[in-house]
RNA sequence: GAGCCCGUAGCUCAGUCGGUUAGAGCGCCAGGUUGUGGCCCUGGAGGCCGUGGGUUCAAUUCCCAUCGGGCUCCCCA
């Protein structure tokens, strides 16, 4: 604190050894569930071309206008990725994954970066997992995407949440609706919030998402997109709703749900939790049937979601859910004297070769200190080795939780470990 | 981009109406138990009281600035 020190950049944290087991448990769970759904993992670079993110996410979005970390090397402009849908689609196009036939079912886990003011549940480097189904316009793809998302929270035991669902329409429906919405709001332009006034010209649907008090009366009376969906989009949305209901996934229809990225079409959804405080979105996603083409690929329908891992862990914390079991150290070899330490060094190796975890003192401490350490590390057993034991080749195996001891040769005691 | 709150030991936090060597609990180390952990007892290490400046005989305390952290608005994971 006093001396010159270095620390993590604003809004970024170290994940210390106390925390890493929780992260690994969560990651493992995601890998397992993805395997059950037959999704394949994709890993892409942390940096992406600025232009990709601008085109993909949208020039006017908050993410692009004020939240990206951008820098330049030579003539090339890069950003730290703020989300992964556009990069995954870039990869899909770049590597011609469409030529592999069928639908690409991809999932990812990794860090994202947004240059916002940090607060609870919001960091500048945060982690998301998510998936992208590229190449299907069928409602089944939407339903499976949501089902996967819900499965993760179900498995962890988080139940206190709301799934909000909406359709933001296909381009034709949306253009029609935007016009209707503009016509409705234009007469009240001067009464709207400043932000909403600019959005009225550029992206009127985002006004529905506004939380400014002065906007609320108009939002409540505004026409609803459901009434302007064309037959295809209405049918698609209906099938998604019915499919979710058939799977026992409950949801709320929210005609005001408009997500922050420009690429969404038709299905949009968001999962929020009252256990998170102000930043209450656990996960969100939707369909993006135009993005692949926008980024340079063939017209290809797709749907996906992303979930915040820090927020998931906050929810676990609030609910008292533990993702980890106690760590397991099988044997701590307590060594008394130099000769015993040499013996210990070769025998931790033998234990590990047999598949047990084993550790010993590295700094020549007293027996008491070694026992304390074994206790702190929650060792199941200590193996006690001193001069007598070496002479007789008879060692003491102490069961730490039961405070019982047995003696025998090293081989006999290893055999005891198995029971 | 805007608002509010907070910086004292590894952690959580007392304290000083300005006045000798700045405290507690937990944690860490050691001893009590010359070869046995957790419980208990005793002792120890560990602080430029975030940083810089000002006021003062004297500042960890008061004032200003600055840096760092937290929460909130906006928006999102």
Question: A97-147: per-residue pLDDT in tens?
Answer: 999 988 999 999 999 999 888 888 889 999 999 999 999 999 999 999 999
Task: Give the DSSP per-residue string, A333-345.
Answer: EEE-SHHHHHHHH
Q: Are residues A192 and A258 in the same domain?
A: no
Q: Which of A381, A394, A344, A382 is nearest to A364 (CA)?
A: A344
The residue from A203, A225, A247 where one domain ends is A225
Q: What is the mean pLDDT of residues A348-373?
A: 94
Q: Are residues A373 and A294 in the same domain?
A: no
Query: pLDDT band at A149, cuts 50/70/90?
Result: very high
Distance in Å, residue A127 CA to nucleotide B34 C1': 54
With a 7 Å cutoff on the CB, does A254 touch strand B?
no
Q: Are residues A50 and A125 in the same domain?
A: yes
Q: Are residues A377 and A301 in the same domain?
A: no
Mean pLDDT check: name the lowest of A2-6, A77-81, A220-224: A2-6
Q: Are residues A215 and A295 in the same domain?
A: no
Shortest-distance nucleotide from A259 CA to C1': B76
Q: Are residues A191 and A125 in the same domain?
A: no
Interface confidence: ipTM more than 0.90? no
Query: pLDDT band at A392, cuts 50/70/90?
Result: very high
Write down which residues 166-185 in A have CB closer than 7 A to strand B.
Answer: none
CB contact set of A182 (below 8 Å; sequence gap of 6+): A200, A204
Q: Are residues A156 and A93 in the same domain?
A: yes
Question: A234-278: per-residue pLDDT in tens?
Answer: 999 999 999 999 999 999 998 888 887 778 899 999 998 877 777
- Residue A102 gets the label, from left (phi > 0), alpha (psi -120 to 50) or beta, of left
Distance in Å, residue A9 CA to nucleotide B58 C1': 39
Question: A184-217: per-residue pLDDT in tens?
Answer: 888 888 887 777 777 787 778 888 877 777 777 7
With a 7 Å cutoff on the CB, does A151 touch strand B?
no
Q: Are residues A73 and A187 in the same domain?
A: no
Using DSSP bridges, classify how beta strands A358-360 and A329-335 pair: parallel, antiparallel or unpaired: parallel
Q: Are residues A375 and A294 in the same domain?
A: no
Q: What is the mean pLDDT of residues A53-80?
A: 86
Domain around A212 = 176-225
Using DSSP bridges, classify how beta strands A404-408 and A395-399 pair: parallel, antiparallel or unpaired: antiparallel
Q: Are residues A313 and A333 in the same domain?
A: no
Q: Which residues of A344-369 are buried (b: 16+ CB within 10 A; e: fewer)?
A: beebbeebeeeebbbbbbeeeeeeee
Distance in Å, residue A246 CA to nucleotide B3 C1': 47
Write down which residues 211-250 in A have CB closer than 7 A to strand B.
Answer: 211-212
CATH number at residue A270: 3.30.930.10
Write down which residues 343-382 in A have CB closer than 7 A to strand B.
Answer: 365-369, 371-376, 382
């Amino acid at each position: 604190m006093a001396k010159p020190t270095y620390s993590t950049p604003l809004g970024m944290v170290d994940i210390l050894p106390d925390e890493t087991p929780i992260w690994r448990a969560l990651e493992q769970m995601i890998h397992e569930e993805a395997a059950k759904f037959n999704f394949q993992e994709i890993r892409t670079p942390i940096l992406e071309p600025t232009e990709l993110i601008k085109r993909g996410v949208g020039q006017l979005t908050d993410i692009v206008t004020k939240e990206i970390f951008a820098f330049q090397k030579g003539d090339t402009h890069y950003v730290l990725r703020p989300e992964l849908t556009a990069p995954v689609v870039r990869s899909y196009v770049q590597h011609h994954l469409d030529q592999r036939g069928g639908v690409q079912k991809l999932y990812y886990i990794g860090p994202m970066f947004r240059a916002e003011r940090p607060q609870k549940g919001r960091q500048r480097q945060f982690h998301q997992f998510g998936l992208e189904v590229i190449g299907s316009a069928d409602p089944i793809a939407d339903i499976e995407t949501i089902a996967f998302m819900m499965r993760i929270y179900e498995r962890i035991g988080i139940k206190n949440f709301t799934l909000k669902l909406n359709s933001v329409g296909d381009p034709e429906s949306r253009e029609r609706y935007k016009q209707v919405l503009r016509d409705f709001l234009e007469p009240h332009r001067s009464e709207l919030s400043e932000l909403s006034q600019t959005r009225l010209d550029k992206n009127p649907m985002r006004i529905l998402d506004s939380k400014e008090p002065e906007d609320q009366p108009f939002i409540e009376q505004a026409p609803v997109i459901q009434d302007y969906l064309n037959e295809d989009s209405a049918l698609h949305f209906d099938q998604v709703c019915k499919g979710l209901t058939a799977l026992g996934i409950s949801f709320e229809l929210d005609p005001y749900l408009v997500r922050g990225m420009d690429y969404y079409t038709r299905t949009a959804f968001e999962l929020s939790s009252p256990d998170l405080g102000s930043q209450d979105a656990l996960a969100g996603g939707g369909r993006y049937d135009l993005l692949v083409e926008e980024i340079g690929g063939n017209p290809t329908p797709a749907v996906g979601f992303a979930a915040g891992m820090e927020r998931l862990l906050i929810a676990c914390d609030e609910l008292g859910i533990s993702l980890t079991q106690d760590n397991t150290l099988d044997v701590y070899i307590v060594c008394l004297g130099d000769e015993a330490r040499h013996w210990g060094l070769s025998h931790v190796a033998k234990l590990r070769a047999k598949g047990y975890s084993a550790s010993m003192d590295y700094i020549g401490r007293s027996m008491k200190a070694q026992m304390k350490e074994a206790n702190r590390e929650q060792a199941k057993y200590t193996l006690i080795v001193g001069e007598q034991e070496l002479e007789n080749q008879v060692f003491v195996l102490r069961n730490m939780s039961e405070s019982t001891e047995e003696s025998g040769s090293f081989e006999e005691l290893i055999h005891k470990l198995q029971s």
